[in-house]
Structure 1
Amino acid sequence: MSRTAGTAQQTESVGTDAGEARITWLPAKGARLVLAVSHGAGGGIEARDLRALAAVLPGRRVTVALVEQPWRVAGKKLAPAPRTLDTGWRGLWPALTAPGLPVVAGGRSAGARVACRTASELGARAVLALSFPLHPPGKPEKSRAGELLGAGVPTLVVQGGRDPFGRPEEFLPGSHRLVEVPYADHGFAVPKKAPLTQDQAMDLLAGAVAEWLDGLS
C-alpha cells in the first residue's frame, strides 16, 4: 500500500482480490465522517457530481475518498460483473475505515449499486446513491429496486429529473430519502435552455448531500 501526499489531497493504492484499486483522499480539518464515493461503469472520478462533492464537503468537516475500482485503474473500458465490483469494494474497505471515522458508502450509478449491496455487511454508516440505475433505459420491468431497498442503513438517493435509468417518480417509497435535481440526466447534465444552470444544479446536489450528512453526525 503506497500513499503519495499532495498539497490538498493524497492518493493511495490498495491491493484487492479484484486487482489494484486507488483512493484519492481529500481530507477535512476536524473531520467527523468519511464519504467514500466510487464512479459508474462508464466514467471515472472526474464525474461532475463527484467533483462537486469533493469541492464542498471537506469544508463541512467531511473527508472525501474518491474510489477508483480496479478495472478503471487497469485502464479497461468496460466494468466487470457486479460480483467482481463488490469484491474490489470489500477489499479496499479497510483502507476507508483506517482514519477511525464512520464511513458513508457511496457512488454514482453502478458505484451506487455496489454501495447498497455491501453496506450492511461492511458496517457502513449510511449510503449515498447518486443517479441510482433503477432499471436499464426503456426496461422498467428489470427493476433493481431490491438493491436500494435492501441497503439496511440510512440512504440518500440524488436523482436527475430526466434520468432514463429511473426518474424520481419511479422510485417506490422506502426508508431512503430522495432528492431530485430538476432537468438533469443520468450524468446530472442540464440542458442549456433549462431554467436551472449547470452550476446551480451542482450547488443543489452538493447542498442536499451536505445537509443530509449533517443529520447523520
Structure 2
Amino acid sequence: MTSTHPAAAAPRSQVGTREGPAEVRVLGPAPATTPSGTLLLGHGAGGHRDAADVLALTDLTDDGWTVVLVDQPWRVAGRKVATPPASLDRAFADLATTLGDEGWQASSGIPLPRPWVLGGRSAGARVACRAAVDVQGRPRPGIAAVVCLAFPLHPPGAPDRSRAEELLRPVAAGLPTLVVQGDRDPFGTPEEVRQAVGAPAPGTFVLYQVRAAHSPARDTATVLLPVRDFLAALGQDRDASVGGAAPDRGGPSG
C-alpha cells in the first residue's frame, strides 16, 4: 500500500556506507514548534518503498520532531531483495554515525537534534531494535526509545523461528519500546508479541493493536495516534527526570 503523502516527494540526500550509498529524506519540525528530537525510520524488506503508515509518521513534525526516512543501500541500488541482517546493520550504523556528526549536520544544513528515537516497519523495526543497543546490552548514547511498526516476530507459519530476542534487546536495556501490530499479522499477532515480551520492567514496553494484517493499516491515523502519544509521554518523562524521578508509566497496553 503506497501513499500520496507529500513526504514521499521530499528531497533525498545520499550518505555513504560500507554497503554502498544509502539515502535519507529529512523533514524538519514545523515552524514555531519547540524541537523534540529526531525520529529515524527504516523501511521493510519488500513491497513498496514508501509504506503509508511510515509516511504518516512524518506528521510528527507538527509536534516538533525531525523525521528522517532512511533508504537502505539495497533499495538505492534498485535491488528487489533485501541484503542479510548483518549488511543492514552495518549500513545503518554507518549512516547513523554520519548523521550524528555535528560537522556533517553543519555542512549539509540538516540539524538532527537529540534525543533520537529509532524506528521502522517490519525489517526496519528489527534493524532499529538491534541498532539501539550495544554489544554489552546498553542503550547507545543519545538513543531514547524504539518504535516498531509491524514487528516480524516470526516468518508466517513458523512460530518456532522467533525473533523475540531482537525485540527484547531495547526492552531489556531499559529503552521505552513501542510496537504497533496488526490484529491479523501472520508474522506475529499482538498476543504472540505480548507473550514473547513477557513481563518487562514498568515503562519499557507498550503494545498497541490496530486492525490490519502485515500490510499497513488502511486508516493510518490509527498508527499515528499511538506513536504520537508514546513520544509525548517520552518527552514528559524526560522533562520530569530533569527535576526528579521520572514517573512510572506501567507496562504493556493495547
TM range (shorter): 0.7 to 0.9
Q: Which amino acid aligns with 2:221?
A: D
Letter in 2 for 1:75: G
- Shift of residue 95, structure 1, vs aligned partner: 3.9
Q: What is residue 81 of structure 1 aligned with on the other side?
A: 84
Letter in 1 for 2:41: V
The alpha carbon displacement at 1:154 in A equals 1.1
Matches of residues 32-43 of structure 1 in structure 2 within 5 Å? 32-43=36-47
1:92 aligns with one of 91, 95, 99: 95
Q: Aligned in 2, Cα 1:115/1:208: closer, same or farther, shift over 3 Å?
A: same
Distance 1:44 1:36 in 2: 18
CA offsets per residue over residues 82-131 of structure 1, 9 Å max, x none?
00000010011034434232110011001100110110234321111110
Q: Which 10-residue stretch deviates more, 140-149 or 90-99?
A: 90-99
Counterpart residue type for residue 41 of structure 1: A
Secondary structure, counterpart of 1:166 in structure 2:
coil
Please say which of residues 119-128 and 201-210 is displaced more in the overlay. 119-128
* Count of aligned residue pairs for this structure pair: 199
Deviation by residue 1:120-152 (Cα, 9 ceiling, x = unmatched): 234321111110000000000111001001122
In structure 2, the residue matched to 1:14 is 15
Counterpart contact for 1:26–1:64, Cα < 8 Å: yes
- Contact 2:36–2:63 (CA<8 Å) still a contact in 1? no
Query: 2: CA distance between counterparts of 1:169 and 1:118?
Result: 25
Shift of 1:48: 1.0
Cα root mean square deviation, aligned: 1.7
Task: Note if 1:132 corresponds to 2:151.
Answer: yes
**Secondary structure of the structure 2 residue equivalent to 1:120:** coil
Larger radius of gyration: 2
**SS of the residue aligned with 2:132?**
helix
Verify: 1:212 aligned to 2:230, yes or no.
yes
3-state SS of the aligned residue for 1:36?
Answer: strand
Deviation at 1:11, TM superposition (A): 2.3
Are the counterparts in 2 of residues 36 and 96 from structure 1 also a CA contact under 8 Å?
A: no
Q: Which amino acid aligns with 2:192?
A: E
Q: How does 1:1-217 map to 2 (within 5 A)?
A: 9-29=10-30, 30-54=34-58, 56-97=59-100, 98=105, 99-121=112-134, 122-123=140-141, 124-151=143-170, 152=173, 153-171=175-193, 172=195, 173=198, 174=200, 175-182=204-211, 184-189=212-217, 198=218, 201-217=219-235
**Whole-angstrom CA distance in 1 between matches of 2:165 and 2:48:** 25
Q: Which runs of 4+ in 1 moved over 6 A?
A: none
What code does the residue aligned with 2:124 have?
A: G
Give the letter for the 2:127 counterpart.
V
Structure 1 position 10, deviation (Å)? 4.1
Look up the SS of the partner of 2:66 in the other structure: strand
Structure 1, unaligned stretches of length 5 or more?
1-5, 190-197
- TM-score, normalized by length of structure 2? 0.74
Give, in whole Å, the separation in 2 of the partners of 1:44 and 1:213: 26
Structure 2: distance between partners of 1:141 and 1:66: 32
Q: Quote the Cα distance in structure 1 between the aligned partners of 2:216 and 2:25.
A: 22
- What is the percent sequence identity of the aligned residues? 46
Superposed displacement of residue 44, structure 1: 4.7
* Structure having the larger proportion of residues in strand: 1
Q: 2-side partners of 1:161 and 1:178: how far apart?
A: 11
Cα deviations by residue, 1:160-184 (Å, 9 ceiling, x for unpaired): 11000000011123332100002x0
